[in-house]
């Protein structure tokens, strides 16, 4: 299989072939990544909201939305339009600057993290060698925005929700990073494309989930906690804190929190698919299928099928994990805040550290099997 080619390089090269200078081509390219991220994330959020409503309805033996479009597919659009036209209220004693910056600091790092996500073999916005490190660095900014939102609202429920959110994010960020470092160690790269290519040799048998089952479980649990999904939604527990740090927000500012939550869930599912489930690679390699069918894998139509299948596999794996997350939300009860912090610091942290050390030892002992 060919190595991944980033969209930026392909775009600039195409314009250069038309006689446009490389500097001007870069300027023309600049708005495209943000536009692609906004469109893709918006579509992902709409699909997620619809799935949330329909899956929760099925779990509770209800019908769910039916009248806003076929099977209620336009219900998320109606929800979004309602938030857009809702009045944006600023509490009288709130800090206006921090109150406005809070949602932005929560959403922007998640959007920027999509820069390094390869949706297919040749579909990544920015192919950088430190992609995993960039994602970890960006995710560490989110707790600052949550604290800002909770503190600036001048509301005791918001403050408690912001403190809980920051403590939860910090607690689960460390096990998350340690589990990812084990994958990076096996792949010898921080590049997401290299990590996927390293899993593409023997189909499903090459996926990292078989070599890192403990890391996979830790990553998924920590990702759900980072997304504040049940059973880890303590920062916005309605029965205790009204809506946590979101209590005083309305209109577009609340919509940013709403969008950020679902965009982060899709991002986490995509990263699990990339790091542990082979990304765009199929369970059966295209070369093996071509040999079985007696088809030349280098022909153009086979390459087109391979590329389309790669994008489909990435999204299929990601949305299967989204389905699991939604089903978990409606079947598992919420934990207490002390149980949540104990799970992160006393259980996941030492296990993820031990997993990293064992991975390092196995990599030295069996370099071929563990990415030497």
* Structural domain contains residue 165: yes
By mean pLDDT, which of 49-53, 130-134, 200-204 is the weakest? 200-204
Sign for the CA dihedral angle at 312, 230, 114, 272 comes to negative
pLDDT interval class at 371 (50, 70, 90): low
Task: End-to-end CA distance of the chain: give it in Å, rounded.
Answer: 20
What is the number of other CB atoms lying within 10 angstroms of the CB of residue 280?
29
- Across the range 69-90, mean pLDDT stands at 85
* Structural domain contains residue 197: yes
Full domain range(s) for residue 128: 86-370
* 321 touches 269 (CB < 8 A): yes
pLDDT: is 37 or 278 the higher one? 278
User: Above 70 in pLDDT, residue 3?
Assistant: no
User: Above 60 in pLDDT, residue 6?
Assistant: no
Most confident of 35-49, 148-162, 172-186, 356-370: 172-186
Residue written as token pair 């619809």: 50
Q: What is the pLDDT of residues 118-149, one digit of tens each?
A: 887 777 777 888 889 999 999 888 888 888 88
* Structural domain contains residue 170: yes
User: Above 50 in pLDDT, residue 4?
Assistant: no
pLDDT interval class at 370 (50, 70, 90): low
pLDDT value, residue 323: 92
Q: What is the pLDDT of residues 246-294, one digit of tens each?
A: 888 888 888 888 888 889 999 999 999 999 998 888 887 776 666 666 6
* Structural domain contains residue 142: yes
Q: Which of 270, 271, 308, 317 is nearest to 286 (CA)?
A: 308
Q: What is the pLDDT of residues 142-184, one digit of tens each?
A: 888 888 888 888 888 888 888 888 888 888 999 999 999 999 9
Share of the chain above pLDDT 70, in %: 91
pLDDT: is 13 or 185 the higher one? 185
pLDDT value, residue 320: 93
User: Above 50 in pLDDT, residue 39?
Assistant: yes
Structure-token pair, residue 9: 């390089």
pLDDT value, residue 318: 92
Query: How many structural domains is the chain composed of?
Result: 1
pLDDT value, residue 198: 87
pLDDT value, residue 293: 66
Q: Model pTM?
A: 0.87
* Structural domain contains residue 22: no
* Structural domain contains residue 278: yes
pLDDT interval class at 73 (50, 70, 90): confident
pLDDT interval class at 220 (50, 70, 90): very high
The dihedral formed by the CA atoms of 298, 13, 195 and 312, expressed in degrees to the nearest 10: -60
pLDDT value, residue 369: 65
Most confident of 77-86, 156-165, 209-218, 257-266: 209-218
Angle at 195 (CA atoms; ends 192, 198), nearest 5 degrees: 150
Instruction: Tell me phi and psi for residue 177, to 5 degrees.
Output: -65, -40
What is the number of other CB atoms lying within 10 angstroms of the CB of residue 222?
28
Largest CA distance in the chain: 72
Most confident of 17-26, 64-73, 125-134, 208-217: 208-217
Q: Which of 227, 281, 272 is nearest to 48 (CA)?
A: 227
* Structural domain contains residue 37: no
Supply the Cα-derived Rg of the chain in whole angstroms. Answer: 22
* Structural domain contains residue 34: no
């Amino acid at each position: 299989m060919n190595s991944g080619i980033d969209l930026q390089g392909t775009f600039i090269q195409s314009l250069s072939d038309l006689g446009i200078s490389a500097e001007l081509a870069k300027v023309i390219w600049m708005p495209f990544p943000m536009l692609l991220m906004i469109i893709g994330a918006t579509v992902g959020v709409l699909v997620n909201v619809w799935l949330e409503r329909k899956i929760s309805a099925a779990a509770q033996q209800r019908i769910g939305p039916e009248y806003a479009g076929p099977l209620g597919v336009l219900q998320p659009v109606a929800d979004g339009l309602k938030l857009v036209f809702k009045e944006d209220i600023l509490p009288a004693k709130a800090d206006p600057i921090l109150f406005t910056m809070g949602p932005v600091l929560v959403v922007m790092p998640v959007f920027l993290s999509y820069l390094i996500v390869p949706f297919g073999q040749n579909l990544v916005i920015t192919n950088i060698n430190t992609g995993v490190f960039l994602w970890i660095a960006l995710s560490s900014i989110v707790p600052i925005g949550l604290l800002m939102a909770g503190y600036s609202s001048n509301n005791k429920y918001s403050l408690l929700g912001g403190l809980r959110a920051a403590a939860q994010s910090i607690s689960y960020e460390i096990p998350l990073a340690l589990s990812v470092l084990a994958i990076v160690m096996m792949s010898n790269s921080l590049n997401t494309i290299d990590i996927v290519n390293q899993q593409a040799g023997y189909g499903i048998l090459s996926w990292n989930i078989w070599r890192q089952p403990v890391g996979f479980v830790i990553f998924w649990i920590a990702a759900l906690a980072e997304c504040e999904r049940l059973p880890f939604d303590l920062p916005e527990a309605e029965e205790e804190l009204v809506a946590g740090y979101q209590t005083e927000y309305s209109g577009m500012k609340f919509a940013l929190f709403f969008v950020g939550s679902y965009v982060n869930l899709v991002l986490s599912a995509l990263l699990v698919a990339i790091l542990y489930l082979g990304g765009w690679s199929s369970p059966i390699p295209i070369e093996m299928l071509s040999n079985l069918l007696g088809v030349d894998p280098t022909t153009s139509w086979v390459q087109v099928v391979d590329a389309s299948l790669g994008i489909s596999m990435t999204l299929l794996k990601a949305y299967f994990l989204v389905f699991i997350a939604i089903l978990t939300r409606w079947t598992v009860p919420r934990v207490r805040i002390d149980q949540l912090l104990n799970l992160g610091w006393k259980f996941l942290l030492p296990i993820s550290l031990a997993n990293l050390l064992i991975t390092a030892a196995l990599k030295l002992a069996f370099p071929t099997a563990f990415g030497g």
